[in-house]
Amino acid sequence: MTTLAPTIYTRTFPRAAGWLRDLVLILLGAFFIAALAQVEIPLPFTPVPITGQTFGVLLVGAALGSKRGALSLASYLAMGSAGLPFFAGGAHGWNIVIGATGGYLIGFVIAAYVIGLLAERGLERSLRTSILPFLIGTVIIYVCGVLWLSVVLGSLGRAVAAGLVPFLIGDAIKLVAAALLLPAAWKGVQ
């Protein structure tokens, strides 16, 4: 019996360590997004503020991969819904998820998964190729966000004017910044 114990331990412990590492990375990603959500610039003409969240979603999705990235954003969403001040400007609660910005929040989870999936296929290896997954992720966030905002505002035209147009330049800058910082994010995950 004593000869089996070391064998069982060495087989089990790496899995446990890997699971624990994944959990820590998932939670760190969620806290990273929560911190970036506090970088908020409210705009008087729209219920959607400028935040650092989309930048974080791009990095977390590419650095953690599809499953861990999506789980990180789902964790962020769950913790904010449960009452932690994780959403833009310290907001929290289920009312935020079903409110004007709820579509963007749901889009974050989907975008992180898709960005991670594309990254796993090697599209994040260089500045030139990382732009494509980040662009696709940004489009996913916009589609989910603007569609839900159109339900809240009662008009697709108003939703595009309030939830897309004012953010195009800023999100293009975030996209390039995320591509530039991705190698550092990869090192942090490694």
Provide the greatest CA pair distance for the chain. 72
Closest CA to 79 of 111, 145, 33: 33
pLDDT band at 6 (very low <50, low <70, confident <90, very high): very low
Assess contact for 96 and 87: CB atoms under 8 A: yes
Greater pLDDT, 138 or 119: 138
Question: Can you list the alpha helix ranges (DSSP code H) found in the chain?
Answer: 4-37, 53-82, 94-97, 102-120, 127-153, 156-163, 168-189
Assess contact for 123 and 115: CB atoms under 8 A: no
Could you give phi then psi for residue 41, rounded to 5 degrees? -125, 100
Q: What is the pLDDT of residues 62-98, one digit of tens each?
A: 999 999 999 999 999 999 999 999 999 999 999 999 9
Give the predicted TM-score (pTM) of the model.
Answer: 0.87
End-to-end CA distance of the chain: 37
Q: What is the rounded distance in angstroms from the CA atom of residue 92 to the CA atom of residue 104?
A: 15
Strands (DSSP E) found in the chain: 40-41, 50-51
Greater pLDDT, 152 or 7: 152
Q: What is the pLDDT of residues 130-150, one digit of tens each?
A: 788 999 999 999 999 999 999
Tell me: pLDDT of 3 over 70.
Answer: no
- Report pLDDT for 129: 78
Q: For the chain, what are the domain ranges?
A: 4-189
- Report pLDDT for 16: 64
Q: What is the rounded distance in angstroms from the CA atom of residue 27 to the CA atom of residue 62?
A: 15
Question: For 94-110, what is the mean pLDDT?
Answer: 96
Closest CA to 105 of 175, 174, 49: 49
Which CATH architecture is the domain 4-189 placed in? Orthogonal Bundle (1.10)
Determine if residue 7 is left, alpha or beta; phi over 0 gives left, psi from -120 to 50 gives alpha, anything else beta.
alpha
